[in-house]
Amino acid sequence: MAVLGILPVVQAQRASEVPFAAACAYLAKALAPGSLEHVRVLALAPGQTERIELAGGASGLAQVYCTKPRAEGKSESHQRNTHLQAIVASAELIELTPARKRSLQEGFSAERDGLFCEDFTRGSRLRVDPGEVAVFFPLDAHLPSVAADAPGRVDKSVVKVSVGA
């Protein structure tokens, strides 16, 4: 099931895996004020996403978007990748439930490695604040981008680590 915490705690749980170590190294930079990676995320305009290739086959996405009311969210899970989602600025809610309990709403999107699931009303709600990282495994259905307090801008880095790596 998903993991939530500050980066050193999350990192300690999977530190021996090369792609995971590369993901955490990138996120450490993205979360460090003044670093090139941190500045790059903050410089993006809402709606922009920038892809970054990392060691060990992992890839990162620096992105900025506006959170939305929960009713406008979309539940998803992934087959090929574990996702590490780090909030650089602002906060968001991410709802979570086991993917095996969900029926598919849309077909598999190979481009996004996404399975889009029916909405769920019973699950856990995570508040992810700046400097925190949420890790979602392929068995986790999650609904990201939900407004924590009121809809607003979120600056975020997401790293995808192949489950086969």
Which CATH superfamily is 3-162 part of? YhcH/YjgK/YiaL (2.60.120.370)
Is the pLDDT at 93 greater than 70? The verdict is yes
Q: Give bridge partners of residue 83 from the DSSP assignment.
A: 136, 160
What angle (nearest 5°) sits at the alpha carbon of residue 35, between those of residues 30 and 40?
A: 65
> What is residue 107's predicted lDDT score, i.e. its pLDDT?
55
pTM: 0.86
**Distance of alpha carbon 146 from alpha carbon 89, whole angstroms:** 15
* Distance from C-alpha of 32 to C-alpha of 41, rounded to nearest angstrom: 11
User: Which residue ranges make up each domain of the chain?
Assistant: 3-162
- Whole-number pLDDT of residue 9: 84
pLDDT in tens, 95-142: 998 876 555 445 555 566 666 666 777 788 999 999 999 999 888 888
The CB density around residue 85, as the number of other CB atoms within 10 Å, is 24
pLDDT at 64: 98
CA distance linking residue 96 with residue 53, whole number of Å: 27
Q: Tell me, what's the pLDDT at 98?
A: 82
Q: pLDDT (tens digit, 9 = 90+) per residue, 31-72?
A: 999 999 999 999 999 999 999 999 888 899 999 999 999 988
Position 144 confidence tier, pLDDT thresholds 50, 70, 90: very high
22 band by pLDDT with thresholds 50, 70 and 90: confident
